[in-house]
Structure 1
Amino acid sequence: MVGASGLVGRHVVERLRERRHDVTSVARTARDGVAHTLDATTATEAEFRALLAGHDGVVFAAGADDREVPRRPAYPVFHRGNVAPVVRLLTAAREEGLSRAVVLGSYYTHFHRLHPEWDLAGRHPYIRSRVEQARAGRAAAGPGLPVAVLELPFVFGRAGDRLPNWSGPLDKWVRSRSPLLAPPGGSAATTAAHVADIAVDALERASGEDIPVAAENLTWPDMIGRIAAAAGHPRPVRRLPGAVVRVALRLGGLAQRLTGKQSGLDPAHAGALLLRELFVTPVRPVSVDAAVAETFPRTGARA
């Protein structure tokens, strides 16, 4: 399990052990429960092979997320975090004779496949890296090693002190006196425990499929309202016109260009993406409310 100390990684390790699998946990930094420390972005095939020897399957739950804003051009940073490690890992897995693999990716690849006219990979470096991650990873694995790619949306939940890496600013906002504003559109959402269930099932079945993951579909006003209520600060969520969001994103993109930076989701085109209802039909629908409450606890205690 590569990325075993993360929010989803911890849940996957726990679920695998509940199903009586022997699990070797690997993460970039030493923590309780991590058997081996290894930075996947710099690990060589030989280092991966040494870890994979004697194993039957591997799960990759690491990589760069779409919030990073590196120097322009951004794609090499996302390639280094999302594509190159998966290629080396799955090459090593094939050479060690593993029979199954799971990669935790992004639901943007689902919409790239569903709506090629949106040109998501061409417009957004992060999405391009996720599309290439799946393609190049499977090419490296070869036909004898099925690779399931879980296409994840917003993930709520907690694992010890680990929370979603996007939750901090939202937590401060909903607890403040600032008005709650939300644009049109929305997103699929899931929980870390839900992802773990699907990941373990895909691993045990050696599925090799693209698996869009969703527990519920939430409009942005609904999501922000649920978060505020969970945190103990319920109040109305006002509608923010989509035109205002588009202008703000474009100004943000201009500021990035002036400073020589580029985000994973290009602000010039992000409005056309984020103002849509990025909904996914849940295969196993469940409520995310309990996981929202874990992520934004009423007491305000966030480890």
Structure 2
Amino acid sequence: MRILVVGASGLIGQHVVERLRALGHEATTAARTARGGVDHALDATLASGAEFRSLLAGHDGVVFAAGADDREVPRRPAYSVFHRGNVAPVVRLLAAAREEGLTRAVVLGSYYTHFHREHPDWRLAERHPYIRSRVEQARLGRTAAGPDLPVAVLELPFVFGRARDRLPNWAEPLDRWVRSGSPLVAPPGGSAATTARRVAEVAVDALERASGEDIPVADENLTWSRMIGRVAEAAGRPRPVRGLPGAVVRAALWSTWAVHAVRGRQSGLDPRHLGGLLLRELFVPVARSGSVDAAIEETFPRG
């Protein structure tokens, strides 16, 4: 296969490229910033359908590994920012892929779409602009691709790992905290977790099978307490993790929402409703049991 990887300089994008080449496939790389290993400098949020078509010509498939992060807190209304980063470029990319006759595609999405599908009563897309963008990314992207271009959407939870200088976007503040010597606290609930290498394996497998499935990706389901404890241990600062009452978390989130409101800003994950997510066990079925310990150690090396 010959595959175009958009967002190829990111943590997961680099692993996808490495996995493709290790299995004998060709990978063309595109990323926002020109750097070593990037074939084409391209801002996906600005690229036109014609620009995408010129890159896609002669390829069999495409991977979209870019997009807007859920931590962004833009000015109101926030949805326009997440639509511009997650929905619009995928629609243009997959429409161009259909026109060029590509036969397979993978979009790296969020496990929030899994919970949107499984728990419509949580009203996630209605309450959170970021989640709405991920839901519409999958729906409108597949519409643009048409019936002859299967699009697999990988629903990703917390992803641990490293690719050269790239780490998960959320890793730096957690790293500072666990190394600071401050007490460690964790609320009820937890999350699924996986590794960048595992995501790359699943992405390339989906390309090889020309899958059009929604694929939740997880190696382990971890409580917040267990996850934070394992991060601290990997960083060489092991200590007990104390429980944090859910009421404290909800109060802090409401305070965050009030500050955003005064400043005219809106979070991709609305703090007024975020407690309803963070305090749940956001666990997903684990297709292949594994451990994220090695990837945690890569992300938070002892030092």
**Cα deviation code 1:20-62 (max 9, x no counterpart):** 0111000000111111110000000000000000000000000
Q: Which residue is equivalent to 1:219?
A: 223
**Match of residue 2 from structure 1:** 6
**Aligned counterpart, 2:23:** 19
Residue identity opposite 1:61 in structure 2: A
Q: State the AA in 2 paired with 1:230.
A: A
Aligned pairs for 1:69-218 within 5 A: 69-218=73-222
Cα distance between partner residues in 2 of 1:269 and 1:161: 34
* Aligned: 1:245 with 2:244: no
* 1:11 alignment partner AA: H
Amino acid at match of 1:232: G
The reply to whether residue 257 of structure 1 matches residue 257 of structure 2 is: no
Supply the distance in 1 between the matched residues of 2:176 and 2:80 (Cα, whole angstroms): 32
TM norm structure 2: 0.98
Distance 1:265 1:82 in 2: 15
Output the CA distance in 1 between the equivalents of 2:16 and 2:157.
17
| Counterpart check, 1:60 vs 2:64 | yes
Question: What is the identity, as a one-letter code, of the residue corresponding to 2:58?
Answer: G
**For this pair of structures, how many residues does the alignment match?**
299
**Partners of 2:181 and 2:98 in 1: how far apart?**
54
Please list the CA deviations of residues 278-303 of structure 1 after superposition, one character each: whole Å capped at 9, or x if unmatched. Answer: 0011101210000000000002xxxx
Q: How far does the alpha carbon of each residue in 1:127-177 deviate from its partner, in whole angstroms, 9 at most, with x for none?
A: 000000000000000000000000000000000010001000000000002
TM value normalised by structure 1:
0.98
SS of residue paired to 1:235: coil
Q: In structure 1, what is the Cα distance between the partners aligned to 2:294 and 2:275?
A: 30
Q: Distance in 2 between matches of 1:127 and 1:35?
A: 31
| Secondary structure at the counterpart of residue 24 of structure 1 | strand
Contact 2:190 2:224 in 1 (8 A): yes
User: Where does 1:223-302 land on structure 2 (aligned, <5 Å)?
Assistant: 223-299=227-303
Alignment of 1:26-45 (within 5 A): 26-45=30-49
Q: C-alpha separation between the residues in 2 aligned to 1:109 and 1:221?
A: 24
- CA distance, structure 1, for counterparts of residue 15 and residue 44 of structure 2: 19
Deviations 1:189-246 (A, max 9, x none): 0000000000000011011000011010000000000000000000000000000000
> Identity percentage over the alignment?
78
- Alpha-carbon distance between aligned partners in 1 of 2:269 and 2:283, rounded to the nearest angstrom: 18
- Superposed CA deviations along residues 95-136 of structure 1, whole A, max 9, x for unmatched, are 000000000000000000000000000000000000000000
Per-residue Cα deviation, 1:55-103 (whole angstroms, up to 9, x for no partner): 0000000000100000011000000000000000000000000000000
Q: Cα deviations across residues 260-294 of structure 1 (Å, max 9, x unaligned)?
A: 00000000000011100000111012100000000
